[in-house]
Amino acid sequence: MPQKTIGFIGLGVMGGAMAGHIRASGERLLIYTRTKSKAQMLLDAGAEWRDSPKELAHECDVIFTMVGYPSDVEEVYFGPEGLIENARPGAILVDATTSRPDLAVRIYEAAKARGLGALDAPVSGGDIGAKNATLTIMVGGDEEAFQSVKPLLEVMGKTVIRQGGPGAGQHTKMANQIAVAGNLLGAVEAVTYARSAGLDPRRMLLSIANGAAQSWQLSNNVPKMLDGNFDPGFYIKHFLKDLRIALDAAHVMKIELPMVALAERLFAKLVAEGMGDLSTHAIYLLYERGLV
């Protein structure tokens, strides 16, 4: 793929690593984030700073965004200072934020009206996947735009699949988060039960972690729970946001997701207890402290 000018907005735990892979691939990279100090490693690696999304948008062929909440997405994309108003004709906008499917459709339609491409491309794999470029990237939007940016997506991720039209990437990410919630609650309750029964949880894992109960949560997060390591790989506050997006979408589709509703209640309690900046597996603390 000929060298293009790539923009990246949002350089947090995930975005910084993702942008780093793009820069390491040899592309010209322009960056913006609210806290400039987060950009220093990329600037040292040859990325170029721009003072606003508007300024960045004027120069880029492809712009990635990886921000926190749907409200942040709206702020970056819409309005006189936003990407849609200021991107140059033919540019492709790729939102990697986990956000609302209906917002992804809105961005797509507004972008198309101005001669731009737009893809929703949320990711899964956490900070480790971002650092190792092994993310799963779930894409919604037009096939032509997808094929155009697929080589860039493959620089950041291992599994890159277009799921359908605009919003399909976000719906796929919601399905992912629903499955994660179920696996995580199951793993925590298995450990809670084992401890209450007088078992050694680590020895219990040797029996169940590779059978029908096996899951990424059992193998990766349960050892961290038992070690008391709740450093953020994926923030509780962001997972709560995702669960609420899933519940809102389910309401629109007129379906019931009782497990997701339970998970939302428990994660909301964690945030209320001041633990929103811990990793998702810190839900174990609710059980350990009898707060469920």
Res 2 pLDDT > 80: no
Q: What is the pLDDT of residues 121-176, one digit of tens each?
A: 999 998 889 999 999 999 999 999 999 999 999 999 999 999 999 999 999 999 99
pLDDT at 232: 84
Identify the CATH class of 5-164. Answer: alpha beta
Res 1 pLDDT > 60: no
Q: Which CATH superfamily is domain 171-288 in?
A: N-(1-d-carboxylethyl)-l-norvaline Dehydrogenase; domain 2 (1.10.1040.10)
Banded model confidence at residue 20, pLDDT cuts 50, 70, 90:
very high
Tell me the mean pLDDT in the region 63-75: 96
Q: Active-site residue 269, yes or no?
A: no
In the chain, which residues fall in CATH 3.40.50.720?
5-164
In the chain, which residues fall in CATH 1.10.1040.10?
171-288
Q: pTM score, two decimals?
A: 0.94
pLDDT at 127: 86
Catalytic, out of 173, 224, 241, 269: 173
Q: Is residue 63 within 8 Å of 87, Cβ to Cβ?
A: yes
Q: What is the pLDDT of residues 107-127, one digit of tens each?
A: 999 999 999 999 999 999 988
Percentage of the residues of the chain whose pLDDT score is greater than 90: 96
Banded model confidence at residue 234, pLDDT cuts 50, 70, 90:
confident
